[in-house]
Amino acid sequence: MSDDNKNLNDDLDDMIGDAKESAKRAGEKISQKASEFADDAKEFGKEAKEKASEFANDAKESAGTFASGAKEVMDNKKVLTGIMAILFGALGVHKFILGYNTEGGIMLGLFVVGVILSCIGVGVLLVWALGLIGLIEGIIYLTKSDAEFYNTYQVGKKPWF
């Protein structure tokens, strides 16, 4: 029985040794895989930083392009509104261009009333006054700086003079 215990003890020691060796190999494999994973994560992080940097640069470039395009639209609206105010100010066309539909409607309505009353003679004075208002507003629009025009008439919504 003592030999049986000794054999069992030896077998048990062999099993424990094998288990230790297997655990050691598994630990080494896990360590190697963790190292590979860490390297991949670092590489992915670098790629992500590069892509984020590219995206940020593209966004800045697009914003700059948009800002310059918006400025061009501002310039065009200012010039268009000023010229239309000088040429067709009595009709209130420049008010409609700026989005002042109520004021444009008032000027257009007064123009129609002035044309109808021109038979009496009073209407001519009304049409002439509306034309003068359009001329003055057109000159004011064209003499303002782009930023001042934009802030006053498009953002601030100042409808008259």
Per-residue pLDDT tens for 57-106?
777 777 766 655 555 555 568 888 999 999 999 999 989 988 899 999 99
For residue 130, what pLDDT band results from cuts at 50, 70 and 90?
very high
CB–CB of 155/77 below 8 Å? no
Would you say residue 26 lies in a domain? yes
Number of domain units in the chain: 1
**pLDDT attached to residue 112:** 92
Looking at residue 49, its pLDDT comes to 79
Angle between helices 2-88 and 122-143 (to 10 degrees): 140
Confidence tier at 134 by pLDDT (50, 70, 90): very high
Host domain of residue 94: 2-155
Residue 160 lies in a domain: no
Here the tokens at position 10 are 């030896």
Residue 131 lies in a domain: yes
Residue 161 lies in a domain: no
